[in-house]
Structure 1
């Protein structure tokens, strides 16, 4: 039986996906800010 790498916890697989999703969220936040003309905090109603 082959040894399978865990996909949860502090593994390189999980960390790679965490980084990719963080970059995607950052880009989406910047694009939304450019399209609406309002900052992220303003969009959330915090300012």
Structure 2
């Protein structure tokens, strides 16, 4: 009896941690959301971010 070998390599999922495309994309999205929220806070309070945080 002969066993047949697989002809293709199974596609494994990329890791969801470390320096990879998924992490970079997630980091970029988080930065865009943070920047937009900073603009909203400055507009609503009439103060800059440093003043709003009490650092200036």
| TM-score normalised by the chain length of structure 1 | 0.92
Give the length in aligned residue pairs.
Answer: 47
Q: Which has the higher contact order (CA 8 A, sep 6+)?
A: 1
Aligned-pair distance for 1:35?
Answer: 0.6
Q: Structure 2: any 5+ residue segments left out of the alignment?
A: 1-9
State the Cα RMSD in Å: 1.0
Structure 2 residue aligned with 1:29: 38
Structure having the higher Rg: 2
TM-score, normalising length from structure 2?
0.78
More helix by share: 1
Post-superposition CA distance 1:1-47 (Å, at most 9, x none): 64121010110000000000000000000011001000000011100
Gaps of 5+ in 1: none
